[in-house]
Structures are given as C-alpha cells and as structure tokens.
Amino acid sequence: MEPKQNSGKRDARETESTGKLVISLAAPRTASGSVAATAPAVYALPGADPVLAKSGIYAPITLPVIERQWRFELTAGLAGVLEHGECLPLLKLLPANSVDLVLTDPPYFLDGMDGAWNRKTLGASAQRAQVIGSMPVGMKFDPKQGVELQKFLEPIFLECLRVLKPGGIFLSFSQARLYHRCAIAAENAGFEIRDMFGWTYEGQPKAFSQDHFVRKMNIPEREKAALIQTLQGRKTPQLKPMIEPIVFGQKPKDGTFVQNWIKHGVGLADTSQTWDGKFPGALMNSPKPGNAEKGDGNDHLTVKPQKVLRHLIRIFTQPGALVLDPFLGSGSSAVAAVCEGRGFIGFERDAEHCQISKRRIEAQIALETQNQKSIKSR
C-alpha cells in the first residue's frame, strides 16, 4: 500500500503543535513517490548527552518529512520522530551509521499480517477465528508465507544494516513458525547472528480437536463413534505457544569490541541490567501487555511488553542513544525509548496505528515530565 500523495501545502491540522509535540508539514511528493525537489522539511535528532555528543558518538542527524511526521521533544535535548509511511523508502533517507539500536517487530506473514497488513480485515479475521470451522489466527499453513516473508524483509534489513552504527545491535521479534526466515533475512543482509532471545509468556492453546470433522464425515454413525474413540481427543499438532523468538544480530564491528566501542559507543552489553537478580539471560518471561499498558483505544493485535523492550534497550544502548523501529505498530518501542531516556525514530504504514503510537508517546512524555517536576520539587 503506497502512502497517499500529498500536495505539500500546510493545512491547519498538520501544523498544529501541542505542548512538546510538533507536527511537521508534509513535503511534496512526486507521482513516483519520491521526494520532490522543493526542499522538504527536515528534522535533526541531536544527541542528548552533551559529553557523548561532543565526542561525536551522537552526531545530529536529519530526517526529511515525506508523508506526515510527528516530532517529539524529549528531555535533555533528546528527540523522537514518528513518520507515517512505508519503511523501505523512509529508511533510505537516513544517513549511514547513524542509529545505535534497531529494535523491531515486522509483520508475521501469517493470515493477513503480511506486507499488506490491513487493520480492518485483520480485525475481522480475528473475530471469525472464534467461530468453529475457521482456523485460529496464525494457524493457516502456507509454505509460501516463509518465502514471501524473507523476500519482504531482506531489502528492509539491508537498510537497517546500513543505518546502524558499526557493531550496532539488531533485535527483531518474530513468530516461532517463521523465525528462521527472519533470521536468514538478517544474516543475508549482513548481520552476524549472535543468539536467539525469547519473550516467554502464557499463551492460549490453538490446537483443536478433530471430533467435529469426524461427525461431518459421510460414514455411518457407528463408525464415527469408533473413530472418535480411536482418536482419544487428539488435536492438530500445535502445543500452546509460549515463546516469541527474537533475532539477535550485530552489524560487523569496526576493529575489536573495545576499538568499536571507543569509536561508535555501541556493540557491548551492559550485563548489570538484570531481569531477575541474576546475570541477564536469553529468555525474558513477561505477561502479554494488558489494557493499562497498551493505552486507551489500542486495538493493535501484537503489542510487545514494555518490560522486555526497556530491558533490551538498557542492555544494548547508553542513555541518549537513538533507537530505530521501522515497524512501529502501536508505538511500544518508542514508548520504551522515552522511558529509558533514549531518542527514537519509528516508521508505520498504517495511519490509525500512527495515531495510537502518537497518543501513547505523548502520554509517556507527559508522565516523564511530571515525574521530573516532582523529583525537582522534593
């Protein structure tokens, strides 16, 4: 789905600023979707930490506005940018070696959650899935899905590699069934696959009994009863999903780990960031986010938990770093970056998901501002 064309004219809605949120005007687009020659609005993301900024580790970068962009002033000179549109052309606008961490969650390529992810039809299919006779969401097996996913991800991951600083960490959530395609796409793009992390949770069983289908078979009732007894309640071969794998890759380093750290400030792990009082491990157990965490009106189907995102951001970046999520969804990684005092860039193709992200980011900024005020007044 191509983002709609934009005349580039300011309209009241697009130029309005609220509090610390600044909405950019959209730059003119050509018919082919590329940026028109008239200067697009650009936004610089300055480094937050003056010492690190001075050292050149956090150099300011700029991001042109293509469709619609929301800019958020965070604390201490840090900035966040949410941009509506397809991530591949937007990634191409970022300078090379400019981002500290890629933390993302691409479409799963299961039952409509593909490159043409559509909020409305997905919602409808999730509802239909409650009805017997229809497969639960994520359970339609089509061997082409994995191939398509890899094809979709490779050019995007190639851009992620380009924009990440040398030695920068790449973390991509994935779905257990197609994890391998996501990992291969990352490896083919040039990342070194270092490990697989897992977000573990208490899932819903998705396997279903075959009795219903036996009862519909065109055989005598006695045979149906015998067959059902033979099956002994056996179900389709799916155990309860309890893990969401995360591809853990690293952009090739510039020299040794220490040389890379001195030059780029990334590539090492802060292992003092404990999950459970012990040395941080590859599995992070956390419930799926509830309504309070998701925020008002967030009906996104695949919201990731703040606890996991914040933990990963703390381990792999320093305060003031820049976190990139090309598939922002309802804004979870941006909210986590705000909580941890990091800047962010998020891209999202769905206009309604952008609105949900914007609301969540604004709410988190307001909370952080309030917390800081109450700390100062003590």
Ligand X SMILES: C[S@@+](CC[C@H](N)C(=O)[O-])C[C@H]1O[C@@H](n2cnc3c(N)ncnc32)[C@H](O)[C@@H]1O
Position among 102, 160, 303, 338 found at the interface with ligand X (CB under 6 A): 303
Round to whole Å and give the CA distance between 95 and 301.
32
| 332 CB-near residues (< 8 Å, 6+ apart) | 105, 289, 303, 304, 305, 306, 309, 360
Distance of CA 5 to the CA centre of its chain: 25
Round to whole Å and give the CA distance between 70 and 129.
35
Name the residue type at position 25: L
What does the block give as tokens for 206? 């998705």
Of the pair 250, 330, the CB lying nearest ligand X is at: 330
Distance of CA 233 to the CA centre of its chain: 38
Position among 67, 86, 111, 244 found at the interface with ligand X (CB under 6 A): 86
**Is residue 69 close enough to count as binding ligand X by CB under 6 A?**
no
Position among 304, 310, 342, 358 found at the interface with ligand X (CB under 6 A): 304
Residue of closest CB approach to ligand X = 329
Choose among 40, 44, 54: nearest CA to 78: 44
Residue 11 CB, shortest distance to ligand X, in Å, is 24
**Is residue 349 close enough to count as binding ligand X by CB under 6 A?**
yes
Q: Which stretch binds ligand X (CB under 6 A): 16-24, 129-137, 276-284, 300-308?
A: 300-308
Of the pair 177, 263, the CB lying nearest ligand X is at: 177
Partners of 64 in beta bridges? 42
Of the pair 298, 318, the CB lying nearest ligand X is at: 298
**Is residue 197 close enough to count as binding ligand X by CB under 6 A?**
no
**Is residue 107 close enough to count as binding ligand X by CB under 6 A?**
yes
Of the pair 3, 47, the CB lying nearest ligand X is at: 3
Binders in 201-230 for ligand X, by CB under 6 A: none
Position among 105, 159, 340, 362 found at the interface with ligand X (CB under 6 A): 105
Of the pair 264, 349, the CB lying nearest ligand X is at: 349
Of the pair 48, 313, the CB lying nearest ligand X is at: 313
**Is residue 111 close enough to count as binding ligand X by CB under 6 A?**
no
Greatest CA separation found in the chain? 82
**Is residue 264 close enough to count as binding ligand X by CB under 6 A?**
no
Torsion of CA 290, 372, 339, 344, to 10 degrees: 130
**Is residue 251 close enough to count as binding ligand X by CB under 6 A?**
no
Binders in 310-339 for ligand X, by CB under 6 A: 327, 329-330, 332
Q: Which stretch binds ligand X (CB under 6 A): 10-18, 72-80, 343-351, 364-372?
A: 343-351
Round to whole Å and give the CA distance between 240 and 142.
20
**Is residue 83 close enough to count as binding ligand X by CB under 6 A?**
no
Buried b (16+ CB within 10 A) or exposed e, 313-339: bbbbbbebbbbbbbbbbbbbbbbbbbb
Q: Are strands 21-24 and 42-45 parallel, antiparallel or unpaired?
A: unpaired
Q: Are strands 79-84 and 322-325 parallel, antiparallel or unpaired?
A: unpaired
Q: Which stretch binds ligand X (CB under 6 A): 40-48, 120-128, 133-141, 342-350?
A: 342-350
Q: How many residues bind ligand X (CB under 6 A)?
A: 19
Q: Which stretch binds ligand X (CB under 6 A): 72-80, 143-151, 229-237, 347-355?
A: 347-355
Residue 50 CB, shortest distance to ligand X, in Å, is 32
Q: Which helix (H) or strand (E) holds 213?
A: helix 211-215
Q: Are strands 79-84 and 68-73 parallel, antiparallel or unpaired?
A: antiparallel
Choose among 84, 76, 63, 24: nearest CA to 356: 84
Q: Give the count of beta carbons closer than 10 Å to the beta carbon of residue 55.
A: 14
Of the pair 227, 243, the CB lying nearest ligand X is at: 243
What's the residue count for the chain?
A: 378
Binding positions for ligand X, rule: CB under 6 A = 86-87, 105, 107, 115, 117, 300, 302-304, 327, 329-330, 332, 347-350, 353
